[in-house]
Structure formats: C-alpha cells, structure tokens
Amino acid sequence: VVKSERPRATLETVARRAGVSRATASRVVNGSSTVAQEIRESVTRAVRELGYVPNTAARSLVTHRSDSIALVLPEAHTRVFSDDQFFPRLIHGVSQELDAADKQLVLMLATEPGSHRRIEKYGLAGHVDGIIVASGHMADPLPAALMGTNIPVVSNERVFGGADIPFVGVDAVGGVAAAVRHLVGSGRRRIAHLAGPQDMPAGIDRLAGYRSAMSEAKLRQAVAVGDFTGASGETAMRQLVDDDPDLDAVVVASDLMAHGALRTLRKMGRRVPDDVAVIGFDDVDLCLYTDPALTTIRQPITEMGRTLVRQILRLSAGEEIQPSLVLPTSLVLRESA
Amino acid sequence: VVKSERPRATLETVARRAGVSRATASRVVNGSSTVAQEIRESVTRAVRELGYVPNTAARSLVTHRSDSIALVLPEAHTRVFSDDQFFPRLIHGVSQELDAADKQLVLMLATEPGSHRRIEKYGLAGHVDGIIVASGHMADPLPAALMGTNIPVVSNERVFGGADIPFVGVDAVGGVAAAVRHLVGSGRRRIAHLAGPQDMPAGIDRLAGYRSAMSEAKLRQAVAVGDFTGASGETAMRQLVDDDPDLDAVVVASDLMAHGALRTLRKMGRRVPDDVAVIGFDDVDLCLYTDPALTTIRQPITEMGRTLVRQILRLSAGEEIQPSLVLPTSLVLRESA
DNA sequence: TTGTAAGCGTTATCAT
DNA sequence: ATGATAACGCTTACAA
C-alpha cells in the first residue's frame, strides 16, 4: 500500500473547490448561520471530499484558544499510583466530559517540585485553556502559583495558603459522620478512627467527620494515623487494638488501609464484624474481595472528574462559577459492618 | 492581589529589548550556535526579564511539529479501569520519558468504536507528532486505521490484520514458561492454566507460554478461560479443580484472577501452596496482601511506557527503529508457589 | 554573524 | 450574505 502523500487540504483548497472565498469556507466550517444553504452544502461537500481538517495551530494562533485542558496530577502522591483507583477514575471522568465538549486532555504528572516550573510555564504560555490540579497535600505551592498566571484553574480539594481556588470536592466529613452514626445505630460504642495523613485534605476531612459524629454521640474518641497504604493500615490497627482491646468498631480513612486493618484484626483473633465492625473509604473493587466484603464510604470520583471539567470549561468561557461544589458520598453496606 | 494583565511577551518584544532582530532572538531561543556570545546573553536576559515563553501555536504553524504525543487507551478494555494498575503504570512511564524530552502528553480514551473517528481525525490533523496506541483486542481496527494516516504509530502489543505496527511488548511467553518450569522443578506435575481472553494478545501469549513449557515437560495440559477479573478467576478455578481434583499447581494469567483463584481454593479446602501452588501475572500491589502472598510473573509496565516513548520519538524524528522490542518478564517468588 | 522578509493556515474586521 | 485583507507569533531562506 502506497501512502497517498497528498498534502493536507487547507481552507484555501476547500474554498477554491467550492468556488467561494476562504472567509466563507471558514464560516461554514465554524457553523456560522449567515451562510446561504446552497453554499453551505457545496463547502461541506468539498470538506468531505478533500478530507479537510482544520489546522489547530493556525486556529489557536488567531483565536487565542487551544481547545485543550490540562490535568495536573502530583506524581509522588501516594494515592496516585497505588491501587486505590482514584487516578484512573478521575481521568475517566475528566476524559468523558472533555470528549463530549470536543476538547483535548493534556496530562501532566508533577514530579514534586521538579516539574512545577515547567507546568507553570506551560500554563502561562497559554497552551491550554484551563488547568485542573489534583492537589495532594495542602500547602502545595503549585495551585497558588498557577492562580498567579491568569489562566483558569480548578482543583479537587480546597487548598489553603493564599489563593483560594474554585474546587469540586466530596463530602468526606458527611460520609464519615454517617458511617459513625450507622455504627452507633447498630450498637457499637467503642468506635476508633484509622486516619489518613493530616497534611492532606483527604486525611483531615475524614478525621473531622469522625470527630464531629463522635462528639455528637458523646462517645470517647480514639485515633491512629496511617498514610493510606495497606501496610500502614496494618500497624495502625494494631496500635488501636493495643490501646483499647475492647474496641468494637473502626472507621478507616481508605479501603487499602481497611484491608490492612482486616488482616491485623484476623491475626489478633478478632472476628469481623462480630467483634469489630470495619468501614472503609473509597469503594475500590477490592472491597468485594476482602474477607469479609468491606462496607465502605463511596466517593463519586468519576463524577467529580466530570464536574471538574464542566467548571473549568465555564471558567475558560468567561462565565462565573460557584467557588465550591461538594459531591455527596454514600455508605455502601457489605459484610464488615 | 491585582493580576498584572500585561500582555504576554512576544519574540518581537524580546528582540526590541535586546536590541536585535526577531530572527536573532529566535535563534537564541532555539539554541542556534551561530550567535555571538554577547548577543546571546542580552537576549537571554530579555527573555528572563520579560518572562517570555514561545507561543507553540505560532511555532507549530511553521514547523509542522507540535511537540506532543498522543497516548490512546481503549476505554472499554477490562484491564484499563480495573485495579490491575496497567493503566497508571503505563502512563507513569510514558509521562516520565516525555517529560525528559520536553514533550506534552495528550491522553485519549477510546470509547470503543465511538471516538475512533475522532481520534483518527485528530491524528490526521497533525495535532500530535506521534501516537502510542495501547491496543486491547487483536483486530482492533484503530491501529490499522491510524497507520493509514502518515503519522507515526507504535503499539504495546503486536496487532494482526493488515498493518504491522512497530511495537514494544513484554515476554509473556517466556515468563509463563519460566513459571511452569519453576513449578516442575519443585515437583509439581498436574499444572493447570487459568487463561485470559483469547482475543487479546495478553491472553493468547500467556497461554502459549504455558503450552510450550508443558509440552516440553511432556505434561498433560488443562486450561480454563477467564476475563482477567477476580470474579472470573473464582469460577474458572472451580472448574479447573472439578475437572482434576488432584491438580497441584495453577499458573494464572493475571493477579486479579489469581486472587479469585485463591479464594476458590480456600473455599474448596485446598491449602496454598501445600496442596496447590499458585502463580499470578502482573505483580500488582495486591500480591503482597493476599493470603498467602502471591508469587507472580512481573512485567515491566513502566519501563514499557518509557520505551514506547523512545520509539515514537525516534520515529517522529524520521529515524529508523526496530519493528519490535520485547521486554523481559521475571518471576517474583513469594509464598504461593 | 545578523537582518529582511516571506510565509505557515486561520479568523475577524470591514467593505460591499 | 460574501469577499478582501489584515493580523496572529513564529521560523527560515536568502541577503548582506
């Protein structure tokens, strides 16, 4: 098969073939309403016959838009490349919505401080119409830096420190509180929390939800901190049991840690849920396969990705948006609680 | 804080400030060697002071390069959004290497046939300098279609049907064969294979490795087919045991399926590895946390991503490349075999 | 070694 | 409703 190296059709070619000016051809391509039906058709035909596709470089040179959105993910962030599926699900949602809007997705993994400058520069350069930053730790300098450039930015977490970036989050506080209430409702009283890192909103909010529901129920609080990994879940769980051998429930800040907690509980001879009820957070596939199947707090990651895109698109279109949107979480009941 | 809305610096601005022509400024920015030291410095200074960043649209309009590479992933592909980590790891490797080359990563999820045309068109439009397709099934029409456009394409799997696309794969055949030999070497004789889908190279090759090593060892073969998910691993394992209650080992085509197989074996009262040895494929995080920890065949996904990028970059630079590269797999011994 | 000037393929302004 | 024409910001012959 010989490749047909026929030079790519340009608007000029299309115009000539349709017997109109380049301007008119452009109007048709961009769906302007001020073009005669007849002419519109002949241009459309020329486009089809020539296999014309607009040159985006030329287009964005004049429109100052790129029709692409950057998604920036902190590479080092524990959760990103572990198997908690946050990353793939987020991308999935973002990609879906971007597709629908016919925009491109530019993915940037931020190796901690190294590529920050590169990303900032890229944003500045106007190569993208907007940036979605999936921030990890609070006080991550990147989001604020990005806000400095006058390109639209949204985040998946509220970010402290100077800039307040519009964000789309999930109601972790409410989710954990609901989980605690569920436990209280089923008679549990010595309910501990296996928390995530306290320098990330994801860790902080879940703890806050626990504290609020526990003090509301006037129960004594017990907290151990992990780093969202399975291994940390194992050790933190051991500590929790050592501190209070009579504990009868634990709400864990991630499913991976909950999985670790389950292992520890088995090793320590506690039956789940009979002796100790366990509730995770995230709702990853693994929940179905733990023994027993893990009750968990589900957060709608894919939906978050979609919403994030809708927000950044509005922003880049110059519209006003709500500074924050919080998506609901839900308790998924399985066997462990 | 008032945003300084000072218009973005252009090459013109830089040139004027440095007291040179636009052409010379361009030369400095692009690292041409034919510029006097002194001038180079003053331009560099102007660039810094003005915060100049080249406009890529303008640049690619004239150079016909975009300095970006597309990574196309089949969205529907079971493995992509399950938790086998193929997807994140591949992206990780791709991103790393692209960063190093200062190229952008454009991510496209291909909703099965829907967005194929869109992607093909995008490639055709020359918006990217090259495309990496992570093909799922063989006979996926997309890779071949992309080969039709004269933009460079590489894949992670060999693809049949017409076009032969340069690819970077992993030695699944050798990996599984090595696993079988390991089992034979430790005295196992009734070794079954829990295979993956037979319309994907990933499923086919692993089975081929099994068959080759088994016939070499002159052992009777037993195969059941799953779809790479944990649930399918459970049912296929049950079938395998029902067919041969005395089986003493199983090589599974994915860790997720192996996890399912482990559950079934426990339910059926088989001890692992005492009664039945189990070996998985992939080496996901989960392997450390199964009970017992899963021995598995590790494939270097991240490295594959990096290599894929190196190949596509060469191709887009007009260099010749080897039509195929196969990365080694390795057996990771844990407790299950 | 440096400058001049001609594009690259669009969109957008302004006439007509 | 349509057509000239001037940008958009850059690279690259070609001249000097």
Per-residue model confidence as pLDDT tens digits over B226-279 = 999 999 999 999 999 999 999 999 999 999 999 999 999 999 999 999 999 999
Q: How far is CA B258 from CA A123, A293, B128, B330, in A?
A: 44, 18, 39, 17
- Separation between Cα atoms, residue A180 and residue A182, nearest integer Å: 5
Given a cut of 90, whether residue B28 has pLDDT beyond it is yes
Q: At what angle do helices A86-100 and B86-100 cross, to 10 degrees?
A: 70
Average pLDDT in the B219-227 region?
A: 97
Q: How far is CA B262 from CA B202, B234, B274, B287, in A?
A: 21, 8, 13, 11
Query: Quick one: pLDDT at residue A170?
Result: 95
CA A337 to chain CA mean position, Å: 27
pLDDT band at B297 (very low <50, low <70, confident <90, very high): very high
Half-sphere exposure of A125 (CA within 13 A, CB side): 18
Which residue is associated with the tokens 């429109």?
A: A63
Q: Residue B124: list chain A partners with CB under 8 A.
A: 8, 51, 53
Q: Does A115 touch chain B (CB under 8 A)?
A: yes
Measure A13 CA to C8 C1' (Å): 15
Given a cut of 50, whether residue A3 has pLDDT beyond it is no
Higher pLDDT, B27 or A146: B27
Given a cut of 60, whether residue A213 has pLDDT beyond it is yes
pLDDT band at B304 (very low <50, low <70, confident <90, very high): very high
Q: What DSSP state is assigned to residue B326?
A: E
Q: Phi and psi at residue B327, in whole multiples of 5°? A: -85, 145
B147 neighbors B153 (Cβ within 8 angstroms):
yes
> Which residue is closest to D6 in terms of CA–C1' distance?
A62
Q: Does B112 touch chain A (CB under 8 A)?
A: no
For B257, the closest chain A residue by CA position comes to A289
- Separation between Cα atoms, residue A12 and residue A23, nearest integer Å: 9
Q: Which of A295-309, B138-152, B178-192, B282-296 has the lowest mean pLDDT?
A: B138-152
Q: Does B104 touch chain A (CB under 8 A)?
A: yes
* DSSP symbols for A168-198: EEE-HHHHHHHHHHHHHHTT---EEEEE--T
Given a cut of 60, whether residue B161 has pLDDT beyond it is no
Nearest to A201 by CA among A108, A79, A311, A333: A79
Q: Which chain C positions come under 7 Å from a protein C-beta?
A: 1-5, 7-13
Average pLDDT in the A29-53 region?
A: 92
Measure B261 CA to D13 C1' (Å): 68
Name the burial class of residue A320, with classes exposed (0-12), middle (13-18) and buried (19+) by CB atoms within 10 angstroms of its CB.
exposed
Q: Which residues, in sequence order, are CB contacts of A1 under 8 Å at separation 6+?
A: none
**Cβ–Cβ below 8 Å for A66 and B53:** no
Tokens of B73: 């992933």
If contacts are CB pairs under 8 Å, which of residues 208-237 in chain B contact chain A? 230
Query: Quick one: pLDDT at residue B117?
Result: 72
pLDDT in tens, B47-101: 999 999 999 999 999 999 999 999 998 876 545 456 678 888 999 999 999 999 9
pLDDT band at A86 (very low <50, low <70, confident <90, very high): confident
- Compute the mean pLDDT over every residue in chain B, rounded to the nearest whole number: 90
Nearest to A248 by CA among A191, A178, A292, A295: A191
Q: What DSSP state is assigned to residue B65?
A: -
Tokens of A136: 């990890």
Smallest CA–C1' separation from B27: which nucleotide?
D11
pLDDT band at A32 (very low <50, low <70, confident <90, very high): confident
> Which residue is closest to D13 in terms of CA–C1' distance?
B23
Q: How far is A53 from chain B (nearest CA, A)?
A: 6
List the single best residue of A47, A84, A91 to mutate versus B (max B Cβ within 10 A).
A91
Query: Quick one: pLDDT at residue B146?
Result: 78
For B261, the closest chain A residue by CA position comes to A289
Query: Quick one: pLDDT at residue B110?
Result: 83
Antiparallel, parallel or unpaired: β A191-195 and A330-332: unpaired
User: Residue A256 belongs to what H/E stretch?
Assistant: helix A255-267
Q: Does B53 touch chain A (CB under 8 A)?
A: yes
Average pLDDT in the B23-50 region?
A: 93
Please state, for a pLDDT cut of 70, what percent of chain B lies above it.
92
Tokens of A209: 């939800």
Average pLDDT in the A160-178 region?
A: 87
Nearest to A130 by CA among A112, A113, A163, A155: A155
If contacts are CB pairs under 8 Å, which of residues 250-289 in chain B contact chain A? 259-260, 263, 284-286, 288-289
Query: Quick one: pLDDT at residue A79?
Result: 53
Measure B67 CA to D11 C1' (Å): 15
Which residue is associated with the tokens 């190296």?
A: A5
- Compute the mean pLDDT over every residue in chain A, rounded to the nearest whole number: 90
Query: Quick one: pLDDT at residue A217?
Result: 97
Query: Quick one: pLDDT at residue B2?
Result: 40
How many distinct helices (H) and strands (E) make up chain B? 13, 12
Q: Which residues pair with A132 in a beta bridge?
A: A71, A154
Higher pLDDT, B146 or B217: B217
Q: Does A305 touch chain B (CB under 8 A)?
A: no
- Separation between Cα atoms, residue A169 and residue B199, nearest integer Å: 40
A127 neighbors A91 (Cβ within 8 angstroms):
no
Given a cut of 70, whether residue A237 has pLDDT beyond it is yes
Given a cut of 60, whether residue B324 has pLDDT beyond it is yes
Given a cut of 70, whether residue B196 has pLDDT beyond it is yes
A146 neighbors A123 (Cβ within 8 angstroms):
yes
Pairs across A and B, CB distance < 8 A? 133
- Separation between Cα atoms, residue B216 and residue A24, nearest integer Å: 70
> Which residue is closest to D2 in terms of CA–C1' distance?
A24
A237 neighbors A265 (Cβ within 8 angstroms):
yes
**Cβ–Cβ below 8 Å for A107 and B95:** yes
Q: Is the full-model pTM beyond 0.75?
A: yes
**Cβ–Cβ below 8 Å for B285 and A82:** yes
Q: At what angle do helices A172-185 and A201-216 cross, to 10 degrees?
A: 40
Most confident of A2-6, B143-147, B240-244: B240-244
Tokens of A141: 């300098």
Antiparallel, parallel or unpaired: β B130-133 and B324-327: unpaired
**Cβ–Cβ below 8 Å for B260 and A289:** yes
Query: Quick one: pLDDT at residue B140?
Result: 72
Given a cut of 90, whether residue B310 has pLDDT beyond it is yes
Tokens of B51: 């915060």
Say whether A156 sits in a helix, a strand or coil.
Answer: coil
Average pLDDT in the A192-207 region?
A: 94
- Separation between Cα atoms, residue A206 and residue A216, nearest integer Å: 16
Measure B168 CA to D13 C1' (Å): 40
Handedness of CA A153, A157, A159, A165 (dihedral sign): positive
DSSP alpha helix (H) spans, chain B: 11-18, 22-29, 37-50, 56-63, 78-81, 86-100, 116-124, 141-148, 172-185, 201-216, 230-243, 255-267, 301-316
Higher pLDDT, A184 or A73: A184
- Separation between Cα atoms, residue B12 and residue B22, nearest integer Å: 6
Query: Quick one: pLDDT at residue B1?
Result: 34
